[in-house]
């Protein structure tokens, strides 16, 4: 194999050289023999210093330039009070940086981070993904940090060159990272969970040296693009040293979770609500399925063959686990299956792998109950957190740091508030217009009950009961959903028992990525959707019970009615199909 920086050519002895040496040995002194040998080899051993092949010099200079470009973004992490540590990489100018969960869980909620500018920065935990072994932290003190360029890990191929950079054995006391260089040995590797967490799905295998302390550090391609976060090595048979088989979490997986991590939450991975196996014909078939799962409600059954999932072909159980493992709980993704030689395509919202109780921190803020892979077990540590940053950590159950969730809420809520002031409109709301089929409708919302008159039908939902109904039938609970819209416009967070920023997900109607707020009230969970470009409040989905089909509402238009804005067209979907369109012509809000 050709190694950049070295010649690919080996010197050869001149013709008849062995015969010449034999003759010399029999007729001359040892001193004469040495002189003769030196003279004979001089023609091919003495080469000018500048005789290296241009391609080798070019490859060497490229490596030097790439390392000069990427090294400033590499982080040496040291735990607060001197305990724990590892590596990380900055991914934007604001100082957000990626590392491993098993690194940050041993380093505290505040930690020290060194960059190769020689400065030791304070940093705070933001969000954690215990299952995927990823953590997001934020370096503090600047808004112009050097950062890595995000690559595309789906384009990584076996044989590609790869740089693993970090802080092995915590050697980077001067904050200058260690660099190792190797090749990609495998892609789409699946690593089974350690305990119930730390599942490495669809990861990248490299022979670049990865040792304890490299955990959380970046894996770059030959162009200096970030393609993964180093986390695991096959150490078991060789002790805690590099064995030539290291594993990096793909950057594409991390980008699916990045907004969830920015929410400050302890985030979870996904399950379809079904397990698969290989049959005797090599097909991947459903071996069990929860009847309460959306996949079942949308049509998936036992023994159906999984053809593709999330737009990836599925030809083995390993491939299915790889695809499933790179998505967050709650995303709705396309699934194609085959039954009796006929293909069917659905979209199914993914369930969580763990229960809420599993995800509650029990070892201190930001740490779920089981942590089988700590880089350095944390001891009792002295708190050295600067007073200037203590306000940036807020402890709350289910969150690594609720302070960051509060910031995301503040970013999105103005998109609701700019519709107008609804806070004093406490009376009856009456909304009238025509359906998409041209029939008149009248929707009434009050504190006592909700009603819809359409064609010759009347639907009603009382609010003095905890039993919420799918009214009109098949809508997923349109009346309850409109009641929640009223509460959001009037009270925002004060109208609900639970209110938080979730992250982002693909919108079912259009496929575009949207920010999501989540609210809960008396068991009803509602997602609120916010487009990014341009920023706008665009819809919602309401689920009256955990196992029911959602009522999805999209605002086709938002029109001005007197001095406020309200949806001019309301598109209602449920079960993957459009149920109804309401074209609003008049709103009478707050009537006595």
Q: Angle, nearest 10°, between helix axes 17-27 and 30-45?
A: 160
200: pLDDT confidence band, cut at 50, 70 and 90?
A: confident
Helix (H, G, I), strand (E, B) or coil at 524: strand
pLDDT score of 17 more than 60:
no
The pLDDT tens digits of the residues spanning 72-99 come to 999 999 877 656 689 999 999 999 999 9
Q: How far apart are CA 572 and CA 554, in angstroms?
A: 7
Which numeric CATH code is attached to 149-256? 2.40.10.10
CATH number at 271-316+331-345:
2.30.42.10
Interval 172-195 mean pLDDT: 82
Residue 219 to residues 90, 410, 534, Cα–Cα distance (Å): 13, 34, 34
Contact 406, 394 (CB under 8 A): yes
SS3 content of the chain, % helix, strand, coil (to 5): 20, 40, 40
Which residues are marked as active site? 102, 133, 215
Q: Phi then psi for 29, rounded to 5 degrees?
A: -75, 165
> Rounded distance, CA 591 to CA 432, Å?
14
* pTM for the structure as a whole: 0.85
Instruction: Inform me whether the pLDDT recorded for 50 exceeds 60.
Output: no
In tens, the pLDDT along 110-137 reads 999 999 999 999 999 999 999 999 999 9
How confident is the model over 322-343, as a mean pLDDT? 95
Does the domain spanning 415-591 belong to CATH 2.50.20? yes
Amino acid 23: pLDDT: 46
- What are the structural domain ranges in the chain? 17-52, 149-256, 271-316+331-345, 415-591
Backbone angles phi, psi at 122, to 5 degrees: -75, 150
């Amino acid at each position: 194999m050709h190694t950049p920086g070295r010649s690919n050519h080996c010197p050869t002895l001149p013709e008849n050289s062995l015969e010449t040496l034999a003759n010399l040995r029999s007729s001359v002194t040892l001193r004469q023999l040495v002189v003769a040998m030196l003279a004979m080899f001089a023609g091919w051993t003495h080469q000018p210093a500048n005789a290296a092949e241009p391609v080798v010099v070019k490859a060497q200079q490229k490596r030097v330039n790439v390392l000069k470009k990427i090294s400033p973004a590499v982080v040496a992490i040291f735990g607060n009070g001197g305990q724990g540590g590892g590596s990380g990489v900055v991914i934007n100018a604001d100082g957000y940086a990626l590392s491993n969960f098993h690194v940050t869980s041993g380093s505290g909620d505040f930690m020290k981070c060194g960059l190769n500018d020689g400065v030791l920065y304070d940093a705070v935990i933001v969000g954690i993904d215990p299952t995927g072994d990823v953590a997001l932290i934020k370096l503090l003190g600047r808004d112009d940090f050097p950062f890595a360029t995000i690559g595309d890990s789906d384009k990584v191929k076996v044989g590609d060159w790869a740089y693993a950079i970090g802080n092995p054995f915590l050697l980077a006391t001067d904050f200058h990272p260690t660099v190792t260089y190797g090749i990609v040995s495998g892609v789409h590797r699946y690593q089974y969970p350690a305990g119930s967490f730390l599942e490495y799905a669809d990861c990248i295998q490299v022979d670049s040296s990865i040792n304890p302390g490299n955990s959380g550090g970046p894996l770059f391609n030959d162009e200096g693009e970030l393609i993964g976060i180093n986390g695991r090595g096959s150490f078991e048979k060789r002790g805690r040293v590099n064995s030539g088989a290291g594993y990096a979490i793909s950057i594409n997986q991390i980008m699916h979770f990045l907004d969830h991590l920015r929410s400050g939450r302890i985030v979870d991975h996904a399950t379809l609500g079904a397990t698969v196996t290989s049959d005797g014909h090599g097909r991947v078939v459903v071996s069990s399925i929860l009847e309460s799962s959306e996949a079942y409600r949308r049509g998936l059954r036992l023994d159906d063959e999984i053809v593709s999932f999330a737009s990836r072909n599925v030809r083995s159980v390993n491939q299915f686990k790889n695809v499933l493992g790179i998505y967050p709980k709650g995303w709705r993704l396309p699934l194609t299956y085959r039954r009796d030689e006929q293909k069917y395509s659905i979209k199914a919202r993914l369930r969580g792998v763990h229960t809420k109780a599993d995800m509650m921190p029990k070892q201190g803020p930001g740490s779920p109950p089981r942590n089988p892979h700590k880089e350095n077990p944390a001891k009792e540590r002295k708190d050295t957190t600067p007073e200037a940053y203590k306000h940036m950590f807020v402890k709350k159950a289910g969150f690594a740091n609720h302070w960051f969730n509060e910031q995301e809420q503040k970013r999105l809520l103005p998109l609701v508030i700019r519709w107008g002031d609804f806070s004093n409109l406490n009376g009856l709301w009456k909304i009238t217009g025509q359906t998409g089929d041209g029939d008149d409708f009248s929707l009434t919302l009050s504190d006592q009950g909700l009603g819809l008159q359409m064609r010759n039908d009347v639907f009603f939902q009382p609010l003095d009961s905890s039993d919420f109904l799918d009214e009109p039938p098949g809508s997923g609970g349109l009346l309850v959903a409109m009641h929640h819209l009223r509460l959001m416009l009037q009270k925002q967070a004060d109208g609900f028992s639970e209110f938080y920023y979730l992250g982002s997900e693909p919108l079912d109607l259009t496929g575009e990525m949207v920010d999501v707020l989540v609210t809960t009230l008396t068991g009803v969970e509602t997602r609120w959707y916010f487009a990014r470009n341009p920023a706008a409040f665009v819809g919602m989905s309401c689920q009256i019970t955990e196992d029911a089909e959602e009522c999805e509402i999209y605002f086709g238009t938002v029109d001005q009615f007197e001095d406020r804005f309200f949806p001019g067209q309301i598109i209602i979907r449920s079960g993957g199909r459009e149920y109804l369109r309401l074209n609003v012509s008049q709103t009478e809000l707050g009537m006595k």
